[in-house]
Amino acid sequence: MNQITFQPCLRPALLEVTGCKDYREERDLFIRIDEILSHSGIEQEFIELSIQEKKINLDKLSTSQADFFCRGCLMALRGNIARLIKNLPHREFCKLLPDSTILRWFLGIERLDGIKAYAKSSSDRFAHWLSESSLQYINQRLIGMLAHADHSEALNLNLEEELDFENIYFDSTCLKADIHFPVDWVLLRDLTRTLMKATVIIRGQGLKHRIPQDPLKFLSDINSLVMKMTATNRIKDGRKKRKGILREMKALSQRIARHARSHLALLEQRGSETELGKGRIKLLKDRLESILGQVQPAIDQAHERIIGERQVKNEDKILSLYDADINIITRGKSTAQVEFGNKLWLGESSQGLIVDYLLEKQQTNDTKHVLPALNRLTKQQGLPVKKIWGDRGLDSATNKKKLCEEGIYNGLCPKNVTEFRDRLEKEPDLGAGLKRRAGTEARIAIIIKNFMGDKPRAKGFKHRQMMVGWAVLTHNLWVLARLEQAGLEEKQKAA
C-alpha cells in the first residue's frame, strides 16, 4: 500500500516541571512511547489496517476528509494506549483527559483554539476500532522489528543492553470473565430482569399485551424467591424446602417468558408504528430472542442439579446468559479453586516483552500450545529462538521429541521427579532458567491487573480478544519505554 500522508496537529511543547519525580517519570514514559510510535511505523500500519477493515476508499475522499479519518485512527491508537497505561475505565479516563497536560500532549488534542476531547462512547468505539487479527499483526510487527537489527536500528531505541529473543518463557492463566458466580437460581433472576426490562420498553411505545400486573413487579417476586432460596442453607430440612422454592421459580420463569414472547411478537408485527429506530428495534429483538432461547435450558439445568440432584457436564452448563464462550478452569490456586473465563497463553522474552499470546475459546491442555507457539515465533515472526522454558504442565513426550528435532533446548520442567533431579545435576543452566521462568507469573499479574483489570470489562469472547491485543501492545510499549538507554545519565547531566 502507498504511503499515506496527512497533516498532523501541532502540539505545544511540554513545560519543564521540577519538584515531582513521579510526574517527571510519567512524562518521560509518554515521551518515550511517542518516539517509538513515530519511528516504528506502527501508526502508518494502524491507518492502513483501518482503511482495509473499514473499506475506506481514500480516492473518493477530499483532503480534509482523509486528514480527519487519519487523525481519528491515531486518536484511537494513542487513546487506547494512554487509557490502558492509566488503567482507567472509559468514563474516568475521559474525565481526566482534558485536565492532564501529558495526556493532552500525547493525544494531540490541545490546539490554539482550545482542547478537543472526546466522551466515553467514543472511547469505547476506539477500543473496538480494529479486529483481533489486526491487533495480533501489529503486535507481531513490533516484535519482528525489535528482533531484526535492520529494523531495530530504525527505531533508534539506543538501549543499554541488547534485546534477547533466544530465551522464551511460557505460561498460561485464566482471563476471568466479568460475570457473577454462576448460581443456578440466580440465572432465573437474571433472565427475569432482562425480559421484563425489555418488555417495559416495548409497552412504553404503546404495544401492550394482556398482563396482570406491572412487569417490574415480577422482579420483586423473583428476588423474594431468591432470598428464600439463600435462607434455606441455614434452616432444618433446607434441601426439601429448596426444591419447593425452585418449583415456584420455574413456574414464575415460564410465566414471565410467555409474557415476553407475546410482546416480542407485537414488536415484530408493529415495531414500525413506534418511535423506536430500526437499530433499537433490532437490539430489543436480539436481546429477547437470546434470553428466551435460554429459558428452558436454564430451568432444566436448575432442575437437574437441585431437584434431581444429578451432576451436569461442564460443557452443557450455562454459566452466563450474556456470554456463551466461557470455560470452567480448574487450576487449584490458593485464591480460587475454580475460575470462570478463558485460558490466556503468554510467551515472554528475557526483558519482559510479550512475544506470543493466545486467548482460547475452547479450553485445551497446556501441552498442546507449545509447538504451535514455537511455530508462530520461528516461522511467522522469524525470531531466533534457541531455548524455551515452562513449568511441568507443558512437559510431554511429543514436545520433547519435536524440540530435539528442531535443535531447540528443552527447558520445560519434567513431570518425573527423578528425571528432573538428574537433569539438574547434568545441566547447570536448567535450574537458573526455571527460576527465571517463575518471574513470568509476575508478568502475567502485571499485564492483567495493570492493563486489563482483574476482571476485564469486555463482554463476549470477541471483545476480550481485542482487549488482550490492546493490552499486549500497550504493555510492550510500556516495557520498551522503561528499558535503560545508553548514555542517558551523561545526557541528563549535560542538560
**Cβ-Cβ contacts under 8 Å for 350 (sequence gap 6 or more):** 164, 167, 169, 436
Question: How far, CA to CA in Å, does 5 sit from each of 118, 122, 175, 270?
Answer: 24, 24, 39, 50
Amino acid at 440: T
Query: Does 114 score more than 90 pLDDT?
Result: no
**Cα 279 from Cα 465, distance rounded (Å):** 25
pLDDT at 149: 64
Cα–Cα dist 468/175, whole Å: 9
**Domain membership flag for residue 409:** yes
Whether the per-residue pLDDT at 372 is higher than 60: the answer is yes
Does 493 score more than 60 pLDDT? Answer: no
Same domain, 360 and 311: no
Residue 9 is assigned to a structural domain of this protein: no
**Within a domain: 266:** yes
Same domain, 268 and 349: no
| Counted domains in the chain | 3
As a whole number, mean pLDDT of residues 450-471 equals: 89
The answer to whether residues 305 and 343 belong to one domain is no
Q: Where are the alpha helices (DSSP H) in 148-216?
A: 149-155, 184-204
- pLDDT at residue 375 in the model: 93
pLDDT at 153: 59
Question: 316, 336, 357 — which closes off a domain?
Answer: 316
Q: Looking at the predicted structure, is the pLDDT value of residue 391 above 70? A: yes
In a domain, residue 267? The reply is: yes
Q: Quick one: 84 and 151 in the same domain? A: no
Please tell me the predicted confidence (pLDDT) of residue 482.
92
- 7 domain residue, yes or no: no
The residue with greater pLDDT, 13 or 490, is: 13
Domain shared by 168 and 200, yes or no: no
Q: Which of 316, 345, 368 delimits the end of a domain?
A: 316
When pLDDT is averaged across residues 118-123 and rounded to a whole number, the result is 93
CB 175 within 8 A of CB 448: yes
Sign of CA dihedral 410, 413, 414, 419: positive
- Alpha-carbon gap, residue 469 to 353, rounded angstroms: 13
Does 76 fall in a domain? Answer: yes
Average pLDDT over residues 306-323: 90
Tell me phi and psi for residue 292, to 5 degrees.
-60, -35
Number of neighbouring beta carbons within 10 Å of residue 421: 11
Is residue 424, in this structure, part of any structural domain at all?
Answer: yes
Q: What is the CATH number of the domain that holds 412?
A: 3.30.420.10
Q: Is the pLDDT of residue 339 over 60?
A: yes
Pair 332, 478 in one domain = yes
**pLDDT tens sequence across 146-183:** 888 665 555 677 788 889 999 999 999 999 988 888 88
pLDDT at residue 1, rounded to an integer:
45
Tally of helices (H runs) and strands (E runs) in the chain: 19, 8
How much of the chain, in percent, has pLDDT values that exceed 70?
A: 94
Per-residue confidence (pLDDT) for residue 495, from 0 to 100? 52
331 and 312: one domain? no
Same domain, 161 and 221: no
Q: Residues 250, 304: contact at Cβ < 8 Å?
A: no
Look at 12-26, 160-174, 267-281 and tell me which has the smallest mean pLDDT: 12-26
* pLDDT mean across residues, the chain: 89
Rounded Cα distance, 236 and 317, in Å: 29
Taking a C-beta distance cutoff of 8 angstroms, is the pair 361, 349 a contact?
Answer: no
pLDDT tens profile 216-266: 999 999 999 999 998 888 788 888 999 999 999 999 999 999 999 999 999
Which of 285, 316, 347 corresponds to the end of one domain? 316
Does residue 102 sit in the same domain as residue 61? Answer: yes
Say if 272 falls within a structural domain: yes
Q: Quick one: 329 and 312 in the same domain?
A: no
Average pLDDT rounded to a whole number, residues 466-480: 96
Query: Cell 487449584 belongs to which residue?
Result: 332
**In a shared domain, residues 330 and 478:** yes
Looking at residue 38, what is its pLDDT? Answer: 87
Domain check: are 157 and 71 in the same one? Answer: no
Return the closest-CA partner of residue 133 out of 44, 49, 73.
49
Range(s) of the domain holding residue 253: 184-316
How far apart, in whole angstroms, are the C-alpha atoms of residue 61 and residue 64? 8
pTM for the predicted model, two decimal places: 0.90
- Selection from 161, 174, 170, 172 nearest residue 479 by Cα: 161
**By C-alpha distance, which of 262, 159, 246, 245 is closest to 209?**
262
* Model confidence at 491: pLDDT above 70: no
